[in-house]
């Protein structure tokens, strides 16, 4: 056959491939808008891996190297994600970029969806492996806000998040309380008596301590994330391995709920704080809460005097938490939540009066209090 004719046919096929790629990217634009409206994560790694598996199977069926097809489509998927981000950046009503710790189906992800879903302009959600990585994304401009858990009604404070606020770079701009129902998840068809190891985030394990006391044959093992633990169980194929996570995580990763509502306290709830680089305005009719960080001067009764100053101005503390100061053995800083707006005369007077009693005093943020908190 004529070589020139063959090359023309290849050029024609290449134009068709480019046209199909352009059509794919047009669909990707609609996907980006749908994700914004639903406050869904921009990148779904689980779906990508399932897609690559199907594409490798299709390639094998038609006699093409499946490994080369996978390489090609990884590039196409990266291009698609970049196109989604460009679509978002070019919108006049650009979405809010929100990060959290965990993967799809985690409690942080579910709480972020409830808080930002349906927001005008949309919300772009992204998960990170650690609290620090999520906070750093805000500090370095990769995100507008982070939504992080700071305390739980059963397991208490999440100290790492308090420590992230210590350098004063981040401000608390809001809070939300989310009810937490823990489920024991395993591979389909697995019974409770087959299980031996249960993995989850340390906080989730602590919140289910009564369940473990009732089932001494189960060994808790900490992991980075609840939903990430569910994903690991799904990928492991191990019938003795289970995870503690949400019912949504079971659906996302194809697991079965072996036991539901296994948290030790029936009213188990987690308080999340929204953090950003700048303070946020609070509506005039909102019930305001202010978070402070302070270190006390070395004098007897300093903490008692601080509390008395707040009380004298009619300001109620809803939380007081101490954390060790790094590189200063046996010294501590305090985090306090106070009902009231820092801009009011009473609050400013209280701050002026307690400042001589401290070696550092920072307002971490004033924000609308969640109705579920004191």
User: C-alpha 334: how far from its chain's center?
Assistant: 25
Residue 172: closest CA among 338, 374, 36, 352: 338
In a domain, 373, yes or no: no
Whether 270 is a known active-site residue: answer yes
What per-residue confidence (pLDDT) applies to 47?
83
Residue 104 maps to which CATH number?
A: 3.40.190.10
End-to-end CA distance of the chain: 83
Helix, strand, or coil (residue 179): strand
Which of residues 89, 120, 151 is at a domain's end? 89
Which of residues 231, 262, 293 is at a domain's end? 262
Q: Which residues of the chain form beta strands (DSSP E)?
A: 96-101, 123-128, 145-152, 156-157, 171-179, 183-186, 197-200, 219-222, 241-245, 256-260, 269-276, 288-296, 317-324, 332-339, 358-368
Compute the distance between CA of residue 245 and CA of residue 118 in angstroms, rounded to an integer.
25
Residues 13 and 52 in one domain: yes
What per-residue confidence (pLDDT) applies to 89?
67
Provide the residue range defining the domain that includes 194. Answer: 183-262
Compute the distance between CA of residue 82 and CA of residue 327 in angstroms, rounded to an integer.
43
111, 226, 270, 342: the catalytic one is 270
C-alpha pair distances (Å), 265 with each of 7, 152, 269: 71, 11, 9
pTM for this entry: 0.75
Residue 21 maps to which CATH number?
A: 1.20.59.10
Residues 165 and 226 in one domain: no
In a domain, 301, yes or no: yes
In a domain, 274, yes or no: no
Residues 101 and 173 in one domain: yes
In a domain, 275, yes or no: no
Residues 213 and 239 in one domain: yes
What per-residue confidence (pLDDT) applies to 278?
87
Q: 370 and 271 in contact (C-beta within 8 Å)?
A: yes
In a domain, 271, yes or no: no
Which of residues 72, 89, 106 is at a domain's end? 89
Residues 157 and 199 in one domain: no
Compute the distance between CA of residue 293 and CA of residue 338 in angstroms, rounded to an integer.
11
Residues 79 and 10 in one domain: yes
272, 290, 310, 342: the catalytic one is 272
In a domain, 38, yes or no: yes
Residues 215 and 147 in one domain: no
Residues 361 and 337 in one domain: yes
Residues 108 and 155 in one domain: yes
Structure tokens at 3: 């070589």
Residues 122 and 168 in one domain: yes
Compute the distance between CA of residue 44 and CA of residue 23 in angstroms, rounded to an integer.
21
Residues 122 and 142 in one domain: yes
Structure tokens at 370: 């969640």
Whether 342 is a known active-site residue: answer no
Residues 136 and 193 in one domain: no
Please name every residue paired with 120 in a beta bridge, in sequence order, or none if there are none: none
What's the domain count of the chain? 4
What per-residue confidence (pLDDT) applies to 327?
81
Residue 363 maps to which CATH number?
A: 3.30.70.260
User: C-alpha 287: how far from its chain's center?
Assistant: 25
Question: Which residues of the chain have a pLDDT value below 50?
Answer: none
């Amino acid at each position: 056959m004529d070589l020139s004719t063959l090359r023309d046919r290849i050029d024609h096929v290449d134009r068709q491939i480019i046209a199909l790629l352009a059509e794919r990217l047009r669909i990707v634009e609609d996907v980006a808008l749908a994700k914004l409206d639903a406050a869904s994560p921009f990148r779904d790694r689980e779906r990508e891996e399932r897609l690559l598996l199907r594409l490798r199977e299709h390639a094998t069926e038609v006699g093409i190297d499946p490994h080369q097809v996978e390489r090609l489509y990884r590039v196409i998927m990266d291009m698609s994600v970049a196109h989604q981000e460009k679509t978002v950046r070019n919108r006049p009503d650009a979405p809010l970029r929100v990060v959290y710790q965990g993967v799809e189906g985690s409690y942080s992800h579910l709480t972020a969806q409830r808080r930002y879903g349906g927001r005008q302009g949309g919300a772009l959600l992204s998960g990170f492996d650690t609290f620090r990585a999520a906070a750093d994304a805000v500090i370095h401009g990769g995100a507008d806000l982070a939504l992080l858990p700071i305390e739980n009604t059963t397991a208490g404070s999440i100290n790492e998040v308090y420590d992230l606020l210590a350098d004063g770079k981040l401000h608390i701009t809001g809070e939300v309380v989310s009810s937490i129902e823990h489920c024991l998840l395993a591979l389909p068809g697995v019974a409770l008596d087959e299980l031996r190891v249960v993995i989850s985030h340390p906080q989730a394990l602590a919140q289910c301590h009564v369940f473990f006391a009732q089932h001494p044959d189960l060994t808790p093992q900490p992991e980075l994330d609840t939903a990430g633990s569910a994903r690991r169980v799904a990928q492991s194929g191990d019938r003795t391995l289970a995870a503690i996570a949400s019912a949504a995580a079971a659906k996302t990763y194809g697991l079965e709920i072996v036991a539901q509502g296994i948290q030790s306290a029936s009213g188990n709830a987690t308080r999340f704080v929204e953090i950003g680089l700048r303070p946020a305005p609070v509506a005039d009719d909102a019930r305001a809460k202010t978070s402070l960080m302070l270190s006390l001067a070395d004098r007897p009764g300093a903490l008692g005097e601080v509390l008395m100053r707040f009380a004298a101005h009619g300001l109620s503390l809803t939380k007081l938490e101490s954390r060790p100061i790094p590189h200063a053995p046996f010294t501590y800083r305090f985090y306090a939540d106070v009902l009231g707006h820092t801009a009011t005369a009473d609050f400013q007077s209280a701050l002026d009066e307690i400042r001589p009693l401290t070696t550092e005093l920072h307002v971490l943020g004033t924000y609308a209090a969640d109705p579920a908190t004191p």
